[in-house]
Structure 1
């Protein structure tokens, strides 16, 4: 019997050894980029999701770039992955959507946003043009010029007035609510003051859940997020149903247009509309608030920048016939230094440090081959912190943007993505940030009470616990 047992053990050892070797050396019709696949199944997932409390490049990427070069391979939750910090390669792939690559998501993201299979991913590609068009129609430049700019200024004034009555404000969460409420109002007429439920509160755990393992177990962040998501989706379904049943009550908002288009586009189902609204609300909840939190923290730590920013906006008031009139589009476009401040904060923070794609076919680049089916992470945070492009890259220096070559910037600065996948809400986000800064520095005094924490992993960026005291300015 011991001989039989020994044979069984031997077979298991041989099988296990071959399995490990196969895992460490994946098949490839060429030469794979250098790197390590980590332990079987789990790969190097833990190193990737551990947060780094620094504006510097995340150690997961920094250490591997130093060891392997700008393109390396790894594995995350069982998925083979290539990470690229190569400017040319990232810029090239940004233009290859639908040909060489398509969008890809971590399992947690896919389940939360209803993108759990290849058909869903393909659908995203097919309707991207329509989705981008309708978002630009309601949040793009024309809409900003006509109505949105004044609405942003109105909600910023109202919000800062409320904040100034409080001992201090945790900026990330408070700004999330502000951005969410305006976006929801634009989408479907959401009125937070008359709503039985504060819908924004249901998005609190979404970001944390995106980098967690997708274990739907009570007590976990992921479970809490799925529970909140279910409640939001039910609310949105009721809103969509009510709008579809009352076409005569036309308001001209985002939801009216998309429900009216259901007769023209077959992919516009009720579920699709609900999840599109959910995704838009999440995007506004996180992106604007994270950028705003970092911007205020950096301004508080750099008084010279704040001084010049304040001077620019006070000059706008002095040039008006009526100092109390609303912000105009021409005034917004004249905010040269403000845009430099915003660009610098976006460069350092980079709300989406890594963009995920899936290779549709074998991709060859600089002697390496990325096999079809592999995930590719475009680590744009590394590009925006490259010392060869940005001198002293970790320094908050808005003045650097005066001398940067626009051609270099176009390839080395992609806070809103690039190519056909560039965020349709980019101008909306920048307008929101600029308007907030305009109202803040011309009407309020403020001091940082608590620095809070900023953290990033290669995919997401966080900022919370930054407390600021606001008070009306007396000129």
Structure 2
């Protein structure tokens, strides 16, 4: 399992390809008079993540993205399974994406010698090894979950990054300073982003923490009680399903002062960094999201290319609301320009 979701895959195989794809994405955006980051950012993120994880082409990822969106929009909805309802679309989206993943896995298993350089290759190798630690059902579920959690986490975080960095020039300046320092210390100016550079990003880590705290991309984290649990005088019986809302924790003024303020410096407080039970964007314990490190690396690399190569100006929109997920009802149009 460590081979499938471990750091070596991120270090050796993913960073160079991902950096190139992100650079190509920004170059395409900069060639346009304006873009709506509320629409473009999720599309690009899903395209890149689907390519790196399961090798999907743009036309295929567009259809899968539609199914993921239907699933996400109905994740917190009244469970009436009738055509036309949000819950029906949610379940149809889930079934469609699981079928696509299952078919894709079976196709790869039938042609194991064809390599695509993605996570699915590693899954196939593990399934066909002498002593596999996973089965096909686990592989299908894991691929669907990894792609979903990466997309759900990254899209609102990086869309909000444009808004919060625009609204907080001091944060943007500090972020530029940290990433410019990385470029200055490189012996080879043409070399790409490295794992060691990623792990050295102190202020960027604070920004990523604050983005994930405020976006609350996951509507809820589900767990099953193994024994009776006492909470504030109430008893939750063993065997019940419990949904914990990260937003209820992350925006609670008892845990975070002025919780609606975007303030990366709050994470300099050691008590905040160590209070893991009050910061759960990727869950906790042995069932924490296996794509957490990938998501944080993606955000750091996205921000690295953005602040070292580009600047942007707001054109219109930018008001934020929330249903099950973060939304920009009027969109958020910007013009992306090469950094002077």
Query: What TM-score does the superposition give when structure 2 sets the normalisation length?
Result: 0.86
1:385 aligns with 2:254: no
Deviation at 1:226, TM superposition (A): 4.1
Structure 2 residue 83 is the aligned partner of structure 1 residue 218: yes
Does structure 2 retain, via aligned residues, the 8 Å contact 1:200–1:285? no
Query: In structure 1, what is the equivalent of residue 15 of structure 2?
Result: 149
2:74 is equivalent to residue 209 of structure 1? yes
The answer (yes or no) to whether the contact 2:34–2:336 under 8 Å persists in 1 is no
What is the distance in 2 between the residues matched to 1:414 and 1:266?
A: 28
Q: Secondary structure at the match of 2:187?
A: coil
After superposition, the C-alpha distances for 1:293-330 in whole angstroms (9 at most, x for unaligned) are: 22222112111211221222222222223444311222
Please name the residue that 1:430 is paired with.
Answer: 296
In structure 2, relative to structure 1, the CA distance for the partners of 1:363 and 1:235 (3 Å cut) is: closer
Equivalence map 1:249-398=2 (5 Å): 249-251=114-116, 253-262=118-127, 264=131, 268-269=135-136, 271-364=137-230, 368-398=234-264
The yes-or-no answer on 1:189 pairing with 2:51 is: no
Aligned length: 336
For the structure 1 residues 138 and 177, does the alpha-carbon distance in structure 2 shift closer, same or farther, using more than 3 Å as the test? Answer: farther
CA distance in 1, matches of 2:101, 2:305: 32
Instruction: Measure the CA separation in 1 of the matches of 2:220 and 2:107.
Output: 38
Across the aligned residues of Structure 1 and Structure 2, the Cα RMSD in angstroms comes to 2.8
- Aligned CA distance change for structure 1 residues 337 and 181 (closer, same or farther; 3 Å): same
Q: Indicate how the Cα distance of structure 1 residues 228 and 359 shifts in structure 2: closer, same or farther if over 3 A, else same.
A: closer
Partner deviation per Cα, 1:346-391 (whole Å, 9 max, x = no partner): 1222222532222233224565432223332334433333434432
CA contact (8 A) 2:152 2:218 kept: no
Secondary structure of the structure 1 residue equivalent to 2:113? coil
Segment drifting more, 463-472 vs 285-294 = 463-472
Residue 199 in structure 1 maps to residue 52 in structure 2: no
Q: Deviations over 1:218-259 (max 9, x none)?
A: 333333444444544444333222212122335564333333
Q: Which has the higher contact order (CA 8 A, sep 6+)?
A: 1
Please identify the structure whose Cα radius of gyration is greater: 1
Cα displacement string for residues 93-121 of structure 1 (whole angstroms, at most 9, x for unaligned residues): xxxxxxxxxxxxxxxxxxxxxxxxxxxxx
Unaligned ranges ≥5, structure 1: 1-132
* Separation in structure 1 between the aligned mates of residue 95 and residue 234 of structure 2, nearest angstrom: 44
Deviations 1:13-62 (A, max 9, x none): xxxxxxxxxxxxxxxxxxxxxxxxxxxxxxxxxxxxxxxxxxxxxxxxxx
Aligned equivalents of 2:62, 2:274: Cα separation in 1: 47
Give the match for residue 57 of structure 1.
none
Counterparts of 2:165 and 2:62, CA distance in 1? 34
Tell me which of 305, 321, 336 is aligned to 1:454: 321
The answer (yes or no) to whether the contact 1:310–1:441 under 8 Å persists in 2 is yes
Question: d(CA) in 1 for partners of 2:280 and 2:91?
Answer: 31
> Structure 1 residues 149, 196: CA separation in 2 closer, same or farther (over 3 Å shift)?
closer
Cα distance change of structure 1 residues 147 and 252 upon mapping to structure 2, 3 Å threshold: closer
Task: Write the distance in 1 (CA, Å) between the matches of 2:62 and 2:235.
Answer: 51
- Does the 8 A contact of 2:34 with 2:333 survive in 1? yes
TM-score (norm 1): 0.63
Q: Could you tell me how far apart the structure 1 residues matched to 2:260 and 2:61 are?
A: 44
